[in-house]
Homo-oligomer: A and B are copies of this chain.
Amino acid sequence: MVYTSDIEIQSKKRTEVINVTTFVEKKLEESRISDGIACLFSGHTSAAIYLGIDDKWVAEDFVDFTNSLVPNKPDLKHNIYGGKNADSHLKSILLGNSITLPITGSRVDLGSWQGIFFAEFSGPRERKINIKIIGE
């Protein structure tokens, strides 16, 4: 069985972390797949999807850390030649846009403190996560 859907997201800041765990869980319920894997994918090139602790301070540390690691320098080539958000594209590449999750007993096998997050690096924007679930 293959199930396809997507999750719509509205980000509100330039850099922002959005917990999408409950949306993924709703899609899983809708899929009626109890055993398999779920592929979460973002088709955006200035955002990312990641797994991490569901903790508001770590979310803020993450925003500060990524901004400090990849500052939006004016001398980045993408910025010199007409772009404005070279940092957003580099952060997106570094963090990644595709994660695969095991599904067992109709549940995502997340750890106790773990959540699924959408990282916006060039908001505010309307965004989407593609979800594909394969299994029985």
Is there contact, CB below 8 Å, between B58 and A52?
no
Say if the beta carbon of A9 comes within 8 Å of chain B: no
Contact call A78/B98, Cβ cutoff below 8 A: no
A128 vs B131: C-alpha distance when bound (angstroms): 25
In the bound complex, do residue B113 and residue A130 qualify as a contact, i.e. CB atoms below 8 Å apart? no
Q: Which listed residue (B43, B110, B130, B134) contacts A43, Cβ 8 A?
A: B110
The residue that A45 contacts in the complex, of B35, B39, B100, B113, with Cβ under 8 A, is B113
Interface range on chain A (Cβ under 8 Å from partner): 35 or more
Flag A44-68 by CB within 8 Å of B: 1 or 0 each: 1110001111010110111011000
Please indicate which of the listed interface residues A44, A45, A70 has the most CB atoms of chain B within 10 Å of its own CB.
A45
Asked if B4 and A45 sit within 8 Å, CB to CB, the answer is: no
B78 contacts A57, CB within 8 Å?
yes
> Are B95's CB and A98's CB within 8 A?
no
Q: Which residues of A contact B (CB under 8 A)?
A: 2, 4, 35-37, 39, 41-46, 50-53, 55, 57-58, 60-62, 64-65, 69-70, 76-78, 80-81, 83, 86, 89-90, 92-104, 109-114, 130-132, 134-136
